[in-house]
């Protein structure tokens, strides 16, 4: 059975439904079967009649006392039944289903599942489902899937499609885990697991299925990572870095001293660069901890030793900002910096390509534009990617390929525990900047409801009078039809009416052209714009130390890690900064989340809370940051399985580097499919 058949082969999937399913990432039967339930519900044990809860769904077990069929005045056919157990009696009513009366044999017991209401002066159950005792007992053990939906789809639709999918592929999915691994670690069979993850017989079979499928996800991910990784930790490099004399002068020229944590990390990086092995290091640091200067020093060291270096960042705004910082830090020391981003004109780009090729530039800062075919580097010795989880692994690889075993530094502001980082990022060494520069004041954070908005605006006016600047974050770009969310464009208009007319306000969002965005950010950096209303495009790494207020509208929409990142845009200078989280949420969990932010400023602590507060599979921003997408696996809770997958992936490659053994053929096919669907640039 070909599981990559289109979902259109299923009954009930027409063009419209197909687009709805596509929205959920479901294109083939294979996708459908790997679209696991979001959660499950099970049938609860039947209650005694006296314990029924009014206005809720109840299940009761009882026998029939009497049943009659009647015709009501409005011609509706009614079946009325009295059911009793040892605690009481209840009336049950069905409409237009006269056949039910014959079904209800008075010598048998039945289970009735339905809503109990007080109507016409008595308690009654309306149109319940009817089960035999045996049937119902089975249901209490089984788990019913609940799927994520999109507009146009119902749980019934999804159930129907998945059931058809399972029927079509019945026990013919190709098992790809070698038998040896399955038996050694007690993993259940593939077909069984897929069936059980959708319709578990009971909790035990669900757990078995989940364990197997989580392992699958982790194994494929680890194997993909290893297969894409052409540069291994142990590889030697021809990049020779010996002389750091120039660096001492740069350090002396800085307007600040490096913190202890920065110094430690800088030494770790320097040691790597001095060794004859390729550096493969992850640099983690909380927001505002000062990663940029470390990157600048590493690039300068490479340049002073005759090598080109690049730094690839996810947005043009950030590229421009890094370009300016690096110029300030390094140009006085005869290090030439260039910028390469998509929005440059063809002429500008061509000129930059030439400069790079002829080594008239030492350090190139840019976005994806850096990995274009036309870019030929001249002695590329160091590749830095900032916020790399926004890039596919493949993109990082493409850049590395353009050098001759260059050193690699990956920078990230998403705090994750060290053991996890090691696995999730492959075998990178990890350096952590766990200290903020001195004289930073804690950002005062408040979660308030929208009735405070006008007070917030007065506060904004006061800070602006003092010369400071403000960010306001809204979740949407344009007015949205079905959600009551603030949109950037509308909001800016409203804001202009609500605050002092002389305040300069502008907006920024991801759909604007690169050039336009750069101009706005430059104006904001130069204090030509005082209030910037923006979507989360400012989230990653924007550095305007004069900004002291961060207002986040609809803050309930964001995860903790993202809120922490957003808040990190203020408090980057000497002035006291504030973060105001506006929300009208009544949800206790959300309030708790916002409360964590009000109490804590340290990203590592916040990430631990995030883990505790969020449920399974929805961990602190990893998914939201696109770091790694696991459908079932939770890299924290399933860490043992992740470690196992890591070691088994390595074993498989050691034994069979090109996956040529017979026992690995189906695994290889599955892996190719996985890589194609996850990592194609």
Ligand X SMILES: Nc1ncnc2c1ncn2[C@@H]1O[C@H](COP(=O)(O)OP(=O)(O)OP(=O)(O)O)[C@@H](O)[C@H]1O
What are the strands of the beta sheet with 380-386, ordered from one edge?
A: 337-340, 363-366, 308-312, 380-386, 407-412, 280-285, 429-433
Contact status, residue 124 vs residue 90, Cβ threshold 8 Å: yes
Closest CB 430 distance from ligand X, rounded Å: 15
Q: Which of 60, 177, 273, 293 binds ligand X (CB under 6 A)?
A: 293
In 3D space, the residue among 148, 181, 178, 177 whose CA is nearest the CA of residue 162 turns out to be 148
The three-class DSSP label of residue 126 is: strand
In 3D space, the residue among 650, 680, 659, 665 whose CA is nearest the CA of residue 223 turns out to be 650
Contact region with ligand X (CB under 6 A), list: 89-97, 220-228, 254-262, 308-316: 254-262
Contact region with ligand X (CB under 6 A), list: 27-35, 61-69, 145-153, 251-259: 251-259
Burial of 151 (0-12, 13-18, 19+ CB in 10 A): exposed
Contact status: 469 vs ligand X (CB under 6 A)? no
Which residues make Cβ contacts (< 8 Å) with residue 320, sequence separation at least 6? 339, 341, 518, 521, 522
Contact status: 288 vs ligand X (CB under 6 A)? yes
Instruction: At 223, list the tokens.
Output: 């194997």
Closest CB 579 distance from ligand X, rounded Å: 14
- Tokens 């860490």 found at: 639
Instruction: At 178, list the tokens.
Output: 């070698």
Closest CB 402 distance from ligand X, rounded Å: 25
Contact region with ligand X (CB under 6 A), list: 286-294, 335-343, 441-449, 462-470: 286-294
Q: Which of 256, 275, 442, 591 binds ligand X (CB under 6 A)?
A: 256
For residue 541, the Cα-to-chain-centroid distance in whole angstroms is 18
- Tokens 């001195």 found at: 438
Which residues make Cβ contacts (< 8 Å) with residue 490, sequence separation at least 6? 478, 479
The three-class DSSP label of residue 532 is: strand
Contact status: 415 vs ligand X (CB under 6 A)? no
Contact status: 258 vs ligand X (CB under 6 A)? yes
Q: Which of 413, 474, 521, 551 binds ligand X (CB under 6 A)?
A: 413
Q: Tell me the pairing of strands 122-132 and 109-119.
A: antiparallel
Nearer to ligand X, 313 or 423 (CB): 313
Contact status, residue 472 vs residue 459, Cβ threshold 8 Å: no
Binding positions for ligand X, 108-167, rule CB under 6 A: none
Closest CB 258 distance from ligand X, rounded Å: 5
Contact region with ligand X (CB under 6 A), list: 97-105, 287-295, 475-483, 602-610: 287-295
Q: Tell me the pairing of strands 505-508 and 578-582.
A: unpaired
Contact status: 309 vs ligand X (CB under 6 A)? no
Contact status: 537 vs ligand X (CB under 6 A)? no
Nearer to ligand X, 259 or 527 (CB): 259
Q: Which of 21, 162, 287, 561 binds ligand X (CB under 6 A)?
A: 287
How many chain residues interact with ligand X (CB under 6 A)?
A: 19
Closest CB 255 distance from ligand X, rounded Å: 8
Cα torsion 546, 552, 553, 555 to 10°: value is 180
Residue in the shown chain whose Cβ atom is closest to ligand X: 290
Contact status: 289 vs ligand X (CB under 6 A)? yes
Q: Which of 42, 378, 543, 665 binds ligand X (CB under 6 A)?
A: 543
Closest CB 290 distance from ligand X, rounded Å: 3
Contact status: 390 vs ligand X (CB under 6 A)? no
Contact status: 437 vs ligand X (CB under 6 A)? yes
Binding positions for ligand X, 554-613, rule CB under 6 A: 568, 572
The three-class DSSP label of residue 536 is: helix
Contact region with ligand X (CB under 6 A), list: 167-175, 257-265, 269-277, 399-407: 257-265
> Which residues here bind ligand X, judged by CB under 6 A?
256, 258-259, 262, 285, 287-293, 413, 437, 541, 543, 545, 568, 572
């Amino acid at each position: 059975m070909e599981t990559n058949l289109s979902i259109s082969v299923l009954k009930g999937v027409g063009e419209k439904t197909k687009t709805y399913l596509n929205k959920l990432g479901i294109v083939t039967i294979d996708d459908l079967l790997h679209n696991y339930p979001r959660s499950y519900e099970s049938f609860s044990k039947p209650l005694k009649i006296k314990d029924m809860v009014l206005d809720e769904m109840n299940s009761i077990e009882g026998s029939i006392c009497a049943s009659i069929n009647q015709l009501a005045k409005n011609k509706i056919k009614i079946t009325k039944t009295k059911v009793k157990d040892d605690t009481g009696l209840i009336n049950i009513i069905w409409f237009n289903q006269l056949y039910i009366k014959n079904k209800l044999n008075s010598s048998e017991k039945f289970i009735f599942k339905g809503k109990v209401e007080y109507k016409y002066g008595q308690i009654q159950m309306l149109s319940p489902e009817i089960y035999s005792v045996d049937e119902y007992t089975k249901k209490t053990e089984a788990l019913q899937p609940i799927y994520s939906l999109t507009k146009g789809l119902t749980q019934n639709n999804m159930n129907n499609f998945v059931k058809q999918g399972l029927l079509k592929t019945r026990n013919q999915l190709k098992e790809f885990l070698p038998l040896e691994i399955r038996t050694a670690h007690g993993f259940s069979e593939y077909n069984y697991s897929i069936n059980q993850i959708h319709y578990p017989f009971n909790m035990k079979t669900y757990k078995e299925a989940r364990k197997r499928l989580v392992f699958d996800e982790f194994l494929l991910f680890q194997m993909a990572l290893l297969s894409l990784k052409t540069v291994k930790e142990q590889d030697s490099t021809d990049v020779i870095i010996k002389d750091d004399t120039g660096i001492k002068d740069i350090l002396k020229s800085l307007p600040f001293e490096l913190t202890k944590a920065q110094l430690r990390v800088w030494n770790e990086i320097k040691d790597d660069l001095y060794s004859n092995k390729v550096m493969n290091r992850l640099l983690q640091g909380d927001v505002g901890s000062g990663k940029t200067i470390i990157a600048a020093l590493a690039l300068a060291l490479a340049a002073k030793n005759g090598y080109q270096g690049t730094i690839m960042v996810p947005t043009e705004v950030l590229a421009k900002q890094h370009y300016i910082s690096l110029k300030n830090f390094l140009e006085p020391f005869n290090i030439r910096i260039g910028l390469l981003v998509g929005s440059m004109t063809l002429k500008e780009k061509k000129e930059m390509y030439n400069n790079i090729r002829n080594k008239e530039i030492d350090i190139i800062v840019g976005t994806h534009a850096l990995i274009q075919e036309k870019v030929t580097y001249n002695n590329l010795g160091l590749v830095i990617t900032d916020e790399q989880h926004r890039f596919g692994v493949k993109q990082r690889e493409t850049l590395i390929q353009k050098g001759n075993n260059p050193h690699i530094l990956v920078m990230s502001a998403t705090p994750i525990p060290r053991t996890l980082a090691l696995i999730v990022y492959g075998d990178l060494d990890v350096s952590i900047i766990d200290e903020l520069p001195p004289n930073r004041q804690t950002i005062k954070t408040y979660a308030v409801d929208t009735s405070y908005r006008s007070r917030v605006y007065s506060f904004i006016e006061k800070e602006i009078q003092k010369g400071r600047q403000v960010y306001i974050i809204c979740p949407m770009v344009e007015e949205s039809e079905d959600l009551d969310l603030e949109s950037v464009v509308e909001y800016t208009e409203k804001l202009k009416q609500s605050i002092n007319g002389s305040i300069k306000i502008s907006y920024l969002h991801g759909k604007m052209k690169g050039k336009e965005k750069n101009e706005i950010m430059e104006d904001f950096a130069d204090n030509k714009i005082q209030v910037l209303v923006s979507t989360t495009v400012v989230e990653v790494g924007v550095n305007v130390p004069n900004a002291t207020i961060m207002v986040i509208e609809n803050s309930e929409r964001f995860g903790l890690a993202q809120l922490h990142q957003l808040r990190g845009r203020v408090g980057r200078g000497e002035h006291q900064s504030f973060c105001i989280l506006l929300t009208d949420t009544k949800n206790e969990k959300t309030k708790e989340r916002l409360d964590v932010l009000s109490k804590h400023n340290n990203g590592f602590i916040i990430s631990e809370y995030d883990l505790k507060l969020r449920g399974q599979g929805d961990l602190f921003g990893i998914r939201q940051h696109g770091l790694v997408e696991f459908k079932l696996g939770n890299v924290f809770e399933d860490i043992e399985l992740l470690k196992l997958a890591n070691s088994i992936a390595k074993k498989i490659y050691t034994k069979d580097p090109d996956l040529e053994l017979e026992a690995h053929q189906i695994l290889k096919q599955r892996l190719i499919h996985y890589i194609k669907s996850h990592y194609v640039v």
